Amino acid sequence: MIRRQCAHTLFYSALTAGILVLSSPLALAQNAATDTTKKANAAVKSELPFNNKEDFENVKKGFIAPLPDKGVIKDAKGQPVWDLSAYEFAKGQDAPDTVNPSLWRQLQLLSEGGLYEVTPRIYQVRSADLSNITFIEGDTGVIVMDPLISKETAKASLDLYRKHRGNKPVVAVIHTHSHIDHYGGVRGVVDEKDVKAGKVKIIAPEHFIEESVSENVFAGNHMARRASYMYGNLLGKGPKDGLGTGLGLGTSTGQATLIEPTDTISKTGQTLKVDGLTFEFLMAPGTEAPAEMHFYIPELKAVTAAENATHTLHNLYTLRGAKVRNAGAWSGYLKESLERWGDKAEVLFAPHHWPTWGNENVVSHLKKQRDLYKYLNDQTLRLANHGYNMVETAEMMELPPELADYWGNRGYYGSVSHDTRAVWNYYLGFFDGNPARLYPLPPTEAGKKFVEYMGGADSVLQKAQKDYDAGNYRWVAQVLDNLVSAQPDNQKAKNLLANTLEQMGYQQENGTWRNFFLSGAKELREGVKKLPTTVTASPDTIANMPTEMFFDYLGIRLNGPKAAGKTMRFNISLPDIKGNYSLVLENGVLNYGPPVDKPDATVSIDRKELNDIIMGTTTFKDKLSSGSAKVTGDTKKFESLLSLLDTFELWWNLSTPNPRPKN
């Protein structure tokens, strides 16, 4: 049996939007699969039920029309933001030696795209972005669920739907949760004027805006960089390159947008009548997203568990970085969905993958997913309570056959290994109780001592090459990470580490692990390249941040060491939103609150004008000159505060050490 996703071995700065360019140097040649990798991947073919073709039948069910232009979607400038045709190499082909056959199977399923009927009155466009967009037909118009990442891909999907189902107006948009692939394309399907006029509802779970913004902006620059690895944005497409993510093929690179919801769902059992259809909601916070909800449409006997029951083991911790998710709650909300709707639902549809039809199949799938997350939760805690640390627990975790052999539970996006570590971390944090691990040296300093203890770089490389030839890739990666941390200019070490990560990538069943390993190999060989990647901290996201969160964001950008010893007090008037606040700098921290007495200066500026300054598209001086901003008091002191705000460079090193910051 395969114990985890590997056979026998083991979205961000808005200022980058539109300016990332392809690197000019040619990529270095990739290696073939080694004998170790060939054996590992060959073993998968005999260990999983590849003769079960039900998913291949279901993924084609209800097909109406393909995406136009071979699945190439372009922006207003004619630049492609999505290309489904890039994955055609997998169609009808057996898995090559450089790909885990299970991941190859998932890629073939995900490569099927176009417009599909889920059930009468529910239609989906699939494989036009990382996620699906769903069109639910009401009495007079259409309700759009989860409009993708980009305005362009959402619009193209709506156009395809209307071509075959008529030009029905969009009367509502439902965001099932707070991740960008479920709201970023909203302006591609509705006009904000219609929302403000009451013609279109935007329906979302409680805390949707706060969670969308905090995830995509507060730590957005860091997440964006890691997302460039996770989603394979830096890789080509092919048997030695990116194969999607297991959840979807990849991320579109168009304009990410956001419109503030008009209707908030805040409690389980809440119902909403939308264009003749009844939506019964179940709150599922802290699961796949911090703000998430399921719903059932009784008139159509259709249920969605949002992203909590797709055809993969999902992430309890996402490799791009985010809050750790609650596996116990995840399982519990699936259990509650079964209790509420399990005897009624005839179809289960989701914002990823293909639907499940028939009550018996719907119930079976939800039970398998429910028990998948509960098993990981419960067994991780069992092992932890026996005294095993996070890494040991992940190494020991093995799903029972009834869960592991079910295709819908395979680790294409999440993995047993990193999900187990997520559960451990959720309950017990970063420290495993061993005092020798409480205060470790940073990687560069530790790496230098490691190399010294092993007799120098040449000795390390000699030993590492021997283990590489023996197929001991996990150990080689661990050893060479120390050497590269100590000597980031040692290209011989970086090349061997790249070769090692490449073989580890070739063996992965998990799409995001493959992307991480292959992206790391690419960076080690070629250096950091500025390539198109997902943008999540978009202008719309910044503009729709509640003002309090906006000021929190400024506090995150404040350079504390530079601000140390400085005291500043300002009153900020925002006439366009009728807001009056103070910003007070003291103790190296920026706090906001109600206006204060005797400020150093009072600044009057519309919130939308302040957004421009903070995003770097203009300067405070420009706003003063144009009359868009007015200051009473010490103008230079306010400019001094703005000068203390850091800007974040996206393209920092991931696979080699970053230089220490100079404050």
Structure tokens, 194: 């219609």
CA-CA distance, 229 to 518, in Å (whole number)? 8
| Domains of the chain by residue range | 14-18+51-428, 546-643
280 φ/ψ angles, rounded to the nearest 5 degrees? -105, 125
Closest to 74 (Cα-Cα) out of 216, 197, 211, 252? 252
What would the pLDDT profile of 508-518 be if each residue is shown by its tens digit? 999 999 999 99
CA-CA distance, 144 to 103, in Å (whole number)? 30
Give the CATH fold of the 546-643 domain. Nonspecific Lipid-transfer Protein; Chain A (3.30.1050)
Q: Can you give the pLDDT at residue 661?
A: 64
pLDDT band at 537 (very low <50, low <70, confident <90, very high): low
pLDDT band at 541 (very low <50, low <70, confident <90, very high): confident
- Residue 14, pLDDT > 50, answer no
Q: Can you give the pLDDT at residue 615?
A: 80
pLDDT band at 662 (very low <50, low <70, confident <90, very high): low
Give the CATH fold of the 14-18+51-428 domain. Metallo-beta-lactamase; Chain A (3.60.15)
List CB contacts of 612: < 8 A, sequence separation 6 or more: 618, 623
CA-CA distance, 250 to 445, in Å (whole number)? 37
- Residue 13, pLDDT > 80, answer no
Summary mean pLDDT of the chain: 92
What would the pLDDT profile of 610-646 be if each residue is shown by its tens digit? 988 888 888 889 989 999 999 999 999 999 999 999 8
- SS3 state of residue 259: coil
Tell me which of 261 and 662 has the higher pLDDT.
261
What would the pLDDT profile of 20-76 be if each residue is shown by its tens digit? 222 333 456 689 999 999 999 999 999 999 999 999 999 999 999 999 999 999 999
pLDDT band at 1 (very low <50, low <70, confident <90, very high): very low
List, edge to edge, every strand of the sheet that includes 601-605. Answer: 589-593, 579-586, 568-574, 601-605, 629-633
* For helices 491-506 and 457-469, angle between their N-to-C axes, nearest 10 degrees: 20
Largest CA distance in the chain: 77
pTM of this prediction?
Answer: 0.90
- SS3 state of residue 82: strand
Q: Can you give the pLDDT at residue 10?
A: 28
pLDDT band at 663 (very low <50, low <70, confident <90, very high): low
pLDDT band at 8 (very low <50, low <70, confident <90, very high): very low
- In angstroms, the Cα distances linking 165 to 4, 64, 116 are 43, 10, 11
CA-CA distance, 656 to 485, in Å (whole number)? 6
- Residue 544, pLDDT > 90, answer no
* For helices 220-230 and 511-526, angle between their N-to-C axes, nearest 10 degrees: 100
Q: Can you give the pLDDT at residue 9?
A: 30
pLDDT band at 221 (very low <50, low <70, confident <90, very high): confident
List, edge to edge, every strand of the sheet that includes 133-137. Answer: 63-65, 114-119, 122-126, 133-137, 142-145, 170-174, 201-205, 263-265
- Residue 116, pLDDT > 50, answer yes
Same CATH topology for 14-18+51-428 and 546-643: the answer is no
Over residues 126-149, the mean pLDDT reads 98
Q: Can you give the pLDDT at residue 294?
A: 98
What would the pLDDT profile of 354-412 be if each residue is shown by its tens digit? 999 999 999 999 999 999 999 999 999 999 999 999 999 999 999 999 999 999 999 99
- In angstroms, the Cα distances linking 608 to 540, 577, 628 are 11, 9, 10
Structure tokens, 600: 């150093």
CA-CA distance, 324 to 327, in Å (whole number)? 9
